[in-house]
Structure formats: structure tokens, C-alpha cells
Amino acid sequence: MGIAAVVFDMDGVLIDSEPIWERVRHDYVVLKGGRWQPDSQKKMMGMNTVEWSSYLADDLGVALPAGAVAADVIDLMADEYAHQVPLLPGAVDAVRRCAGMWKLGLASSSPASLIDLVLAKAGLIDYFTAVLSTEEVGRGKPAPDVYLTVAQRLGVDPRDCTAVEDSTNGLTSAHSAGMRLIAAPRPEFPPQPEALALADAVIEDLDQLTTEVISA
């Protein structure tokens, strides 16, 4: 049938948010007397809200319930986005270009409140037919749950979708869902080589996300 839909990740694909997540979480952990680790941010990339807040509380020593940790960190991130949404170059054009050809979905590990804030401020919310946070499904990435659910809501077989991802967990998630896979890795948080090898194509920036690359 060919490609019928494109499913974007958000953090690291449409917005340069991973450095912000790392700074906000690091400062929060230190403030609360926890122990930040050099690989903490990489471990959390793809986790859903319950998973990463539990990780901060249980593994990094933040002495608060996971629910309180999640609420605090999400509020801090919302404050960051209220000042500026860190859109990556070419993000808006890429979404508009793809929306002219295919149905669009969003499969993000960010909480739903932050997804809505980012898409609204960027003027992109109306381009997406299905928007889903991993906090709304059973498991976060690298499990395929979020991608399978987005495909279901789009009314499209996962095999007829192209996913655009950046992280090890995200690439693994989309590949496990059976989607065609385009990797758009961020140099600050490069995916593991074995995850990158799952991609059907690798792009350096969103200007390279052409219709030919998506459907090849």
C-alpha cells in the first residue's frame, strides 16, 4: 500500500529539549539531596512519566513520592516552555510538508500537558490527527505500545507508517512496532550503534526529511 502516515517523536526530533530536561532534572535532583549520575539522562530518554519520576525517587535518591517528583519537574519544564519552545531548525516546515502528503501522528514520552503546550505554542497542533504520550499507554519506550496505539488511532497499519526518532529507546520502540524508521539523531545524545542500525534512513537535519526519504 505504501506509506499512509508519518509518526513523529517530539523531544529531540521537533524540539531541542533533551538538554533542558537534563538541566531541569539535574538541578532538581541536586536540590532535593539526590545523586545525579553521568548516564541518568540517557537512561530516561523514552521513559514515560511514571517510569522517570520513579527513577528519580528510587534510583537517584530524591526523597519524595514519585507523583510529587513528576508534578514538580513537569511544572519546571512548563515554565521553560512558557518562555520559549526550543524548536529545531526545519521542524515547522517538515511537519507542514508531511501533512500535505500523509496523516500525521505524534508519539512522545513527554507528559500530555507539555505536548499540548509545545504544539500550541508552535502552531502545529492542528496538523496532527493522533497525539499520544507514553504516560497514556502501559509502557514507555523502548516498548512499542505508544507507536502501536498511535497507528490504531490513525486507522493505519503500523507497517504503512514511517516513524521519525532520535534516541536508542525511541528507535527500538518504533522498529518493534513494525514501522519504517528514519533516524534523526542528536549529536549531544547519540543513539547506540545497534539502535541506529535499525533505521531505514538516517538524516542530519529535518530539511533532509523529504517525501522521497519517507516513502522510499
Active-site residue identified among 11, 72, 145, 160 = 11
Cell numbers 505536548: residue: 115
Active-site residue identified among 9, 72, 160, 166 = 9
Q: Is 72 a catalytic residue?
A: no
Q: Which long-range contacts (CB under 8 A, 24 or more apart) does 148-151 make?
A: 148/177, 150/7, 150/105, 150/106, 150/107, 151/5, 151/7, 151/105, 151/177, 151/179
Q: Is 9 a catalytic residue?
A: yes
- Describe the crossing of helices 66-83 and 112-122 by its angle, rounded to 10 degrees: 10
Give the dihedral of Cα atoms 41, 42, 44, 45; nearest 10 deg.
110
Active site residues: 9, 11
